[in-house]
Chain A
Amino acid sequence: MPGACFGLLGPNGAGKSTLIRMLYGAMSRSGGEIRVLGLDPETGGRELRRSIGVVTQEDALDEQMTVLENMALYASFIGLPKSIAKTRIRDLLAFLALEHKVNAKIIALSGGMKRRLVFVRALLGNPQLLILDEPTTGLDPAVRQVLWTKIRALQQQGTTVLLTTHYMDEAEALCDQLVILDRGVVRVSGAPRDLIAEHSAGYVAIWKTALHPRLEAASLHQLTAAVDQIPNKPDVIRPANLEDVFLKITGKELSGDA
């Protein structure tokens, strides 16, 4: 569905990045079948990658180059004619509020700016499908909000988005549909709101002390009634969210290979 955002969630080592790399043909698969935009990434990878953009987990920018040089390089990799590339780069830098850095060396950019530049790089080919592999890891809340707005704007223009993230608020804010993956297996799938309704209690009370880790109930009324039985007041009472679902599905314990 054009313009939709699909989330791929899971703990470290769940197989998200592996799956993503298989989807755009940067990794082979041991079996099964994959079709992306009607193409098999293993045989039609080069063709496929003309229609998709990838925000890689690593910035992988050429640090010695300037912003413009680096983007021009990638425009040449995807085969954009120079005249089109020039306008496209300028428009995208403006879209991600980087136009004032056009001649700056990449090594001089902040982490948030580098991340935005990786978005520019991914969007150079005007992709139908945009793959975001942990796009906002390590960024401050303001930059994250900006990037979310940009992602939503792209969706409105019809770009389909595939997102992996460790941030449940990010998945809740962006995804129309998502799956939670654990050790290579899909555990649950659905719309975030449906998953919360189905897999969590409804409301949660949390104490910061270890004595009462948490209390859950279907309604706020029931939860307050239960909390009233306990002498210590909880630190937080809130509606259940995707994080509660995630922890329930994948287990709270850190597995050895996580």
Chain B
Amino acid sequence: MPEFFVLSWRVAMRHWAIYKKDFFANILPTLIDPALFVMVFGYWLGAHITQLNGRPYLTYMAPGIAASTALFTAYFESSYGFYVRLVYENIFKAVMTTPIGPHEIITGEFIWVALKGAIMAGLVGVVLFAFGIIKVEYIWLLPIMGGLVGLACGAIGLIATGYVRNMNQFQTVYALLISPMFFISGVFYPIDQMPRALQYVCYLSPLYHGVRLSQSALWAEDVLRDWLIHGASLIALTAILMLWAWRRIYPKLYS
């Protein structure tokens, strides 16, 4: 078993080695997007909104940006990124001539999206703290939230890879699933503003639970209660999505 994790870790480190080759090009969109959201919605639009649920609008929406950064980084990595490795670069055909097999490859992908989610959410947290937008006591929880959202949304990307017939179809998944998830998961407003039915849909969104985890941590409010409720929900959703991804991707690697 330990060898299984050592080999899976090496797969993840292979992705990191490639990622850091173009570090600035790779990390820029992940950090520019949150910065734009904070500027446009937080400062400029937020200036016209005095308060939301008793706090400045910028403080309200900032935690959600940390969570959605984990969503985007993980989804793009495991959809486009994985697809290119699988179909265009044929990397896994070479990897599978070594002691590494399909289990280690998939586990390595999960490790990689979890790490990316954790690091990116953490970085956004640091930036938000530097601007004095959030409270710092529980900021160390942010990478845990990012890792979980990264795993769940990475799994969604892998599931998508398991279904698409070509790379263009990832846009369909983005338009019908990822983008709506971003807008209805309570990043910009509390979900009780939405119709009841849509709120139930929200409970199935890993991002929603990530947003709630992030909010409780960065507002330093109801941390224990929210982390129990939304942590458990997110773990359950993540487990289901990972299982689904595993069953969908395994035959692509080994049949």
Binding site for B on A (CB under 8 A): 24-28, 45-47, 49-50, 52-54, 56, 58, 60-65, 69, 73-74, 76-79, 121-122, 125
Q: Count of B residues near A, CB < 8 Å?
A: 22
Give every chain B residue within 8 A of A122 (Cβ-Cβ): 97
B95 at interface by CB-CB < 8 Å: yes
Can you add 20 more A-B contacts, CB < 8 Å, to A56-B94, A74-B94? A26-B96, A26-B97, A27-B255, A28-B255, A45-B101, A50-B99, A56-B97, A58-B90, A58-B93, A58-B94, A60-B91, A60-B94, A62-B14, A63-B89, A76-B10, A76-B13, A77-B7, A78-B99, A79-B99, A125-B98
B18 at interface by CB-CB < 8 Å: yes
Main secondary structure of the interface of A (DSSP, over half): loop
CA distance A76 to B104 in the complex (A): 14
Please state if B18 and A64 are interface contacts (CB–CB under 8 Å).
Answer: yes
Q: Count the A-B residue pairs with Cβ separation under 8 angstroms: how many?
A: 65
B17 at interface by CB-CB < 8 Å: yes
Please state if B17 and A69 are interface contacts (CB–CB under 8 Å).
Answer: yes
B22 at interface by CB-CB < 8 Å: yes
A65 touches which of B21, B96, B101 (Cβ 8 Å): B21
Give every chain B residue within 8 A of A53 (Cβ-Cβ): 97
Please state if A26 and B93 are interface contacts (CB–CB under 8 Å).
Answer: yes
CA distance A233 to B37 in the complex (A): 82
CA distance A52 to B89 in the complex (A): 23
Report the nearest B residue to A63, measured CB to CB.
Answer: B89
Give every chain A residue within 8 A of B98 (Cβ-Cβ): 49, 74, 77-78, 125
CA distance A73 to B91 in the complex (A): 12
Give every chain A residue within 8 A of B99 (Cβ-Cβ): 46-47, 49-50, 77-79
Please state if B100 and A60 are interface contacts (CB–CB under 8 Å).
Answer: no
Nearest chain A CB to B5 CB, angstrom units: 13
Nearest chain A CB to B173 CB, angstrom units: 26
CA distance A64 to B20 in the complex (A): 11
CA distance A77 to B93 in the complex (A): 13
B101 touches which of A25, A52, A76, A78 (Cβ 8 Å): A25
Give every chain B residue within 8 A of A63 (Cβ-Cβ): 89
Give every chain A residue within 8 A of B94 (Cβ-Cβ): 56, 58, 60-61, 74, 121
CA distance A79 to B18 in the complex (A): 20
Please state if A60 and B17 are interface contacts (CB–CB under 8 Å).
Answer: no
B93 touches which of A49, A60, A76, A125 (Cβ 8 Å): A60
Which residues 12-49 of B have a CB within 8 angstroms of A?
13-14, 17-18, 21-22
Question: Known contacts being A63-B89, A77-B98, is A26 close to B254, with CB within 8 Å?
Answer: yes
Give every chain A residue within 8 A of B17 (Cβ-Cβ): 65, 69, 73
Which residues 90-149 of B have a CB within 8 angstroms of A?
90-91, 93-101
Which residues 40-92 of B have a CB within 8 angstroms of A?
89-91
Give every chain B residue within 8 A of A49 (Cβ-Cβ): 97-99
Nearest chain A CB to B17 CB, angstrom units: 7
